[in-house]
Amino acid sequence: MSGAEGAAGQPDTVEALEWTVRVWQNAPQKRWVVILVALACASLGWAVLQSVLLAALGFFGIMGGTSEYWLPLRYRLDERGASVRCGISVTAVEWAAVKRVSETDIGIRLSPLERTTRLAQFRGVFLRYAGNRDQVLEYVNNLRGEGARLLEPGTDG
């Protein structure tokens, strides 16, 4: 797909693939746990320090750190790369930077690292499936970087 030319000699454009995943739908009780813990932190901040600012900081710190459980994750694959948006946070990687592609049961990780390290899970983009596994894999296989290694599920490269 990438770099191919159509019959008229013009480069083919690849249509973007977009989908949304709502993590809380698989475990809705986790949202209530997160809210209760955030409220407990806010209450503790108020009770111990008598500070509305620190109480709010505790509440929003917990809610911000767990945003993927209560905000939808919006995924986009296009000619330039892959991205995921959660609220105002955007994580993206360009296809040329992808060095390793590894699949799990729930999604696929596009990593700019050639080897697995302790920090590997924090690098690159993790694409969760939403019943579209084959479509995502086909798109990634067609546009991933030339030097990217595709690892089978469960392998560690």
What DSSP character marks residue 72?
A: -
Helices (H), 6-88: 29-49, 52-65
pLDDT tens digit string along 70-108?
Answer: 899 999 999 999 999 999 999 999 999 998 888 999 999
- Residue with the larger pLDDT of the pair 27 and 10: 27
Look over the chain and give the mean of its residue pLDDT values, rounded to a whole number.
Answer: 84
Task: Say whether 14 sits in a helix, a strand or coil.
Answer: coil
What DSSP character marks residue 6?
A: -
Q: Percentage of the chain with pLDDT > 90? A: 51
pLDDT bin (cut points 50, 70, 90) of residue 10 is very low
Tell me the C-alpha to C-alpha distance, in Å, between residue 65 and each of 35, 68, 105, 124, 157: 12, 8, 24, 18, 29
Report the alpha-carbon distance of residue 116 to residue 123 in Å, rounded. 10
Are 52 and 77 contacting, i.e. CB atoms less than 8 angstroms apart?
no
Interior CA angle at 127 toward 115 and 151, to 5°?
35
pLDDT bin (cut points 50, 70, 90) of residue 1 is very low
- Would the pTM count as exceeding 0.75? yes
pLDDT of 5 reads 44
pLDDT bin (cut points 50, 70, 90) of residue 148 is low
